[in-house]
Structure 1
């Protein structure tokens, strides 16, 4: 699955009841770098390994989706970098893109498959587009149900001048990097 360090602190020590020369040590939780109970369902889902089906991240709220992205960064550690592939057409299922973590889950899934990593925020996404993560421009991205993300992310602004939404900035960035973005809506 993934590993997380667990910080423990020694709260006390005393001679052991098990015999001379042994010590009983009392440990307390000394760390705060573990998943919150709110994201436990995500960890339980990943317990058997990275997902193999699309959209398993979709039922979670933004916090759960962020935990999903956290696991995706840890689960795919490869000792030797994989070569990037370019070209082709990738299809993004936009039905569940209702927040920023969901956007990054959906893009990674469209480009690399379920449970994969391709950025978890603006800066990381830009880095991934430079290569070294399995796919690099140029390629085509057909974004189905793109209006869901356009509406949901309308109030999320990364643009320092406050003119563009996160959705618009992502589309612009993709296009600047050589990605042909095709925005599609469901048939009426």
Structure 2
């Protein structure tokens, strides 16, 4: 984390897109805070039913942390968790993390992620597809 950034304030996690102006180290810290917050609270509620459509904001996905932050926000709202790596994403897609597959993931401006993530972009699409997620790239 750079000198001018402080640890993530958990209350800031409720601000939509609050992570988008952070540098890569800041996004990594934000993702760690989201993950810690998720696993520190008791399980509440049920997953949304299968067949739902989620929209991921593709404009700011320039690194792996940004991908998982955008996915978490799309599925579970601001500060939402939906994986922090591909193995965790696969676990989330099995249920218990807010969404029930199969579902649709609309991903406008996906070219930003394709350009920055290169092979990781395709790997993420593979994991999503293996679990019945219909990804609609835009």
Same fold (TM over 0.5): yes
Shift in Å at residue 53 of structure 1? 2.9
Q: Which has the higher contact order (CA 8 A, sep 6+)?
A: 2
Which secondary structure does the structure 1 equivalent of 2:13 belong to?
coil
The corresponding residue for 2:32 is: 70
The structure whose residues are more often helix, as a share, is: 2
| Contact 1:95–1:145 (CA under 8 A) maintained in structure 2 | yes
Change (3 A) 1:37 1:153: closer
| The structure with more strand, counted as a fraction of residues | 1
User: What are structure 2's unaligned runs of at least 5 residues?
Assistant: none
Q: Is the 8 A contact 2:13 2:34 kept in 1?
A: no
Q: Give the length in aligned residue pairs.
A: 136
Q: Is 1:133 aligned to 2:87, yes or no?
A: no
Aligned to 1:84: 47
Larger radius of gyration: 1
Matching residue within 172, 175, 186 for 2:129? 175
5 Å matches for 1:93-132? Answer: 93-132=57-96
CA distance in 1, matches of 2:42, 2:14: 21
TM-score (norm. length: structure 2): 0.89
TM-aligned CA deviation for residue 174 of structure 1: 0.7
CA-CA distance at 1:181 after TM superposition: 0.5
